[in-house]
Structure 1
Amino acid sequence: MTLKIRHHVLVCLEEKNYSRRVLLRGASLARKYGYTFEVLFFCSIESEYTMFHLLNLAESKKLSEELGAVRFIVKRVKDERDTARELVETAKNNNAKEIIMSGAQPKSNLKASLWRRIFFCDKYNYILNHLPDIILVLINHHEYNPFEKGEYRNGKQAFLVKKSNHPIAYFLRDRPFRATDTSGLFFQKKDTDERTGIFAFIRRGRVRYVYIYHGKIGDSTEDALQLKHALQ
C-alpha cells in the first residue's frame, strides 16, 4: 500500500506587490486538486504603512479564512532577499510542493545590471536555487492600488453616510452618524476640492470603491449602478 503524499501550497502576498488575484489563484488551485494551502503576508520592517496597506491586510486575512487556508501568517522582513529566505525556510519546514506569488518586481531592482539581478537580487532565482524541486508559479497582474500614486493623494479614514431613503443619497463624512455607516479610506483627487476622489472599503471580504464628487455619490445612472454593485 502506498500513501498519497500531501501536496501543500504556499501563497505569498507582499505589501508592495499585493494583489488578491494571487490569493484567489492559489485557493482555486487547492480546491480543484484537493491541496492544502497557507498564506504568508510579507510586510517591510521599515515601511510607514498607509491605511490602504492595512486594508489590503484585512482583505487578505478575511479571504484566506473564507477560502479555507490552513494558516494566515504575517511576516515582517527587511527586503526581498529576506522574503525569499523566509519563503524557503517555511517551504522546507512545511514540506510545501508549490509556491504561488506575484511576478511583479520593484523598479529599483530593474536598475541593477542583469547579472547582478540574476545572482544577487532576484528572489525567484534564490528560491529555485534553494528549492530545486519546488513548483514556482508567478502571477502577472496590474498594480493593485493606483489610488496613492499619480492623480490621487494618500488615503485617509472616512465614512460613507446614507442620509435619506434616496437610493444614492450617500455622503462622505469624517465621522459616522450611526453604527451602520460604511467605514473606509478616501483618496482625494489632486488639484480638486477636498471632497472629490475615490472612497475604498471592504464589503464581504473584498475591497470595493465608489467615486465621490464634491462630498457625495454622483447622481448619474452609472454612479448608481456602481454603488449598487459595491454595496452588494
Structure 2
Amino acid sequence: MNNSVYNESILVCVYYGPNSERLIKRGCAIANLMKAPLYILTIDPKPFDELDAEKLFYIEQWKEYAHAHATAQFVMKDNESRPVYKVIAEVARDNNITQIILGQTAHSRWEQITKGSIINSLVREIPFVDLHIVSVARYIRDEEGLYEKGIRAYLIKDGEKYKLSFNHEKQIDFEGIFFKEVDTDFDNGIFRFMKDAATLHVQVIDGIVTELTNVDIHAAMNLDDSVK
C-alpha cells in the first residue's frame, strides 16, 4: 500500500558502476521529502548465478542501501531477454510508480543494449510516470583511461597497515573492488568497499593501504560532479 502523503512512489534504475550510489541517494532524498516508498531496480540479461564478482559486489551494496532506508525495496530482474524499457514499465505498473530516476550513463548504456531510445520507449509505455535523467560523472576516471575495470579484492590487516589481496583468505578484514591505475606494474589505485554501512574509497600504493581514510574521488580526479 502506498502511504505517501503526496501519493508518490519512486523508482531508481541503477546499472553497475560507482554512479549508482549517487542515483540512489537522489532517490532517497526525493522519497524522504515526499514520504514515498522507494524501489531500487537493476536488470541483467544473465541469470544471477552467472554474474561476475564485480556485479555481485554492486548488488550487495544496493541491497545494503535498501535495508538502510525504511521504505526502500531492492528489485533484481535477472535472466531478462525482454527490452529494458519493458521490464522497467512492468515494475513501474506493479508498484504504482510515479517517478523514475535514470542516470545519464546507465541511460546511454541501456540504449546500447536495446539499440533504441529507452526514454522515448518509456514515454510511450508508461506516459503517466515522470522521468528524471540525472547527469552523473562517468566511471572512475574512465574518460581519461587512468583506471582499469574494477576487480574483486580484499584488505588484510598487516600491523598498522592493510595489504591488498586477490585471494579470499580466512583472515580478510574488508572485501571490495580494486580499481588499478593503467600503465603501472604495481598495485596502485583505489579500493572501494563498505564499512559501517558507508561506501569508502581508499588509496592503494604498491599493494598497501596505510590508512582507511576516504578519498574524495571527484575532487581528486577533477571530475565534473555538479549535481548534488
Alignment of 1:144-183 (within 5 A): 144-146=139-141, 150-164=145-159, 166=160, 169-175=161-167, 179=171, 181-183=173-175
**Aligned pairs for 1:12-51 within 5 A:** 12-15=13-16, 18-45=19-46, 49-51=51-53
Q: Which residue of 1 aligns with 2:178?
A: 186
Q: Which moved more, 1:142-151 or 1:65-74?
A: 142-151
Give the equivalent residue in structure 2 for 1:195. 187
State whether residues 161 and 176 of structure 1, in contact with CA within 8 Å, keep that contact through their aligned partners in structure 2: no
**Displacement after TM superposition at 1:37 (Å):** 1.9
- Give the structure-1-normalised TM-score: 0.73
Distance 1:97 1:108 in 2: 21
CA distance in 2, matches of 1:89, 1:101: 16
Deviation of 1:108 after TM superposition, in Å, equals 9.3
In 2, Cα distance between equivalents of 1:78 and 1:148: 30
TM-aligned CA distance change 1:206 to 1:57, over 3 Å: farther
**Mapped partners of 2:66, 2:209: distance in 1:** 31
- What does residue range 80-119 of structure 1 map to in structure 2 within 5 Å? 82-104=83-105, 105-106=107-108
Q: Give structure 1 stretches of 5+ with no counterpart.
A: 111-116, 219-223
Structure 1 pair 148–215 and aligned structure 2 pair: CA distance change class (3 A): farther
- The 1:229–1:152 alpha-carbon spacing in structure 2 relative to 1, beyond 3 Å, is closer
Relative distance call for 1:65 and 1:156 in structure 2 (3 A) is same
| 1:195-230: CA deviation from partner (whole Å, max 9, x where unpaired) | 323222222334322222222135xxxxx5xx3347
Whether contact under 8 Å (2:13, 2:100) holds in the other structure is yes
C-alpha displacement at 1:141, in angstroms?
0.5
- 1:66 corresponding residue in structure 2: 68
Relative distance call for 1:17 and 1:161 in structure 2 (3 A) is closer
| Counterpart Cα distance in 2 of 1:142 and 1:130 | 28
Q: 2: distance between equivalents of 1:16 and 1:158?
A: 16
Matched positions, count: 207
Deviation of 1:60 after TM superposition, in Å, equals 1.1
Change (3 A) 1:51 1:152: farther
Distance of 1:195 and 1:17 partners within structure 2: 20
The residue number in structure 1 matching 2:206 is 214
Q: Give the partner amino acid of 1:15.
A: Y
What stretches of structure 2 of length at least 5 have no aligned partner?
Answer: 216-228
Partner Cα separation in structure 1 for residue 187 and residue 68 of structure 2: 34
Shift of 1:155: 3.4
Q: Deviations over 1:38-70 (max 9, x none)?
A: 221122339975433222211111001101244
Percent identity reads: 23
**Contact preservation (8 Å) 1:19, 1:144:** no
Instruction: Indicate conservation of the 8 Å contact 2:140/2:147, yes or no.
Output: no
